[in-house]
Amino acid sequence: MPYYVRLMHWGDIAQVTEIDREAFLGLMPSPNYRNELKNRMAHYVVVCDDARLAEPSTIVIAPDKGISGLLYRVKHMFERDKEVPASTEYIVGFAGFWNVVDEAHLISIAVREEYHRRGIGELLLISIIDLAIELDVRLVSLEVRASNITALSLYRKFGFIQVGLRGGYYTDNNEDAALMTLENVNSELVRSSFEELKKSHSGKMSRQKLKLARSGRRRGA
């Protein structure tokens, strides 16, 4: 498979923020992913392109606003996250949720525009559900634009059902959001169906890799 999934770490912050801004431009300010990685309720995964590397750089995380120079230096003695080498892996998408009591609420799922229609959004959703199962949650919930037929179809495919509507949820155009949930995540029925969908998606991604490899051959090779 040309793509692989792993947990998000400090070195991913710059790329994840870049993807967030591209995907959610005009909706709201990007989350502070430094705070998200410190939040015990938050869980994030990223998808990387195995055949591509990111530009090498360094993330320098500035001191919190309002902290005096002396206090910042004291804090810095006990914190090692002020300067973090950026990941050289090329991140093409990410997703995250908050685990509150027995519910995993999807905060965001986004894929670089140039990587749309390659099954990466579905791979992210699979990874989120996998992680939710591992954390023994009861249900997964999310909001999605009421007009986003493609996303609605994907969520329904994985067993999500619409349980409500949030009026004017999206600030860019005042569009409604469909509230959807996947309940009884750890039940035998849901897990069995989920495993079949995982196998099907894995097969599609493998066929895609073969197709990409063939298309990359030179004539006469």
Active site residues: 143, 155
At a CB cut-off of 8 Å and minimum separation 6, what does 42 contact? Answer: 36, 96, 97, 98, 99, 107
CB 3 within 8 A of CB 52: no
> Is 110 within 8 Å of 19 (Cβ atoms)?
yes
As a whole number of angstroms, the longest Cα–Cα distance in the chain is 67
C-alpha 34/C-alpha 99 separation (Å) is: 17
How far is residue 157 from each of residues 17, 149, 194, measured CA to CA in Å? 29, 12, 10
DSSP line for 78-125? H---SEEEPP-EEEEEEEEEEEETTEEEEEEEEE-GGGTTSSHHHHHH
Q: Which amino acid is at 143?
A: E
| Rounded Cα gap, residues 12 and 85, in angstroms | 9
The residue written with tokens 């495993």 in the block is 195
Q: Cβ of 106: how many Cβ atoms within 10 Å?
A: 23
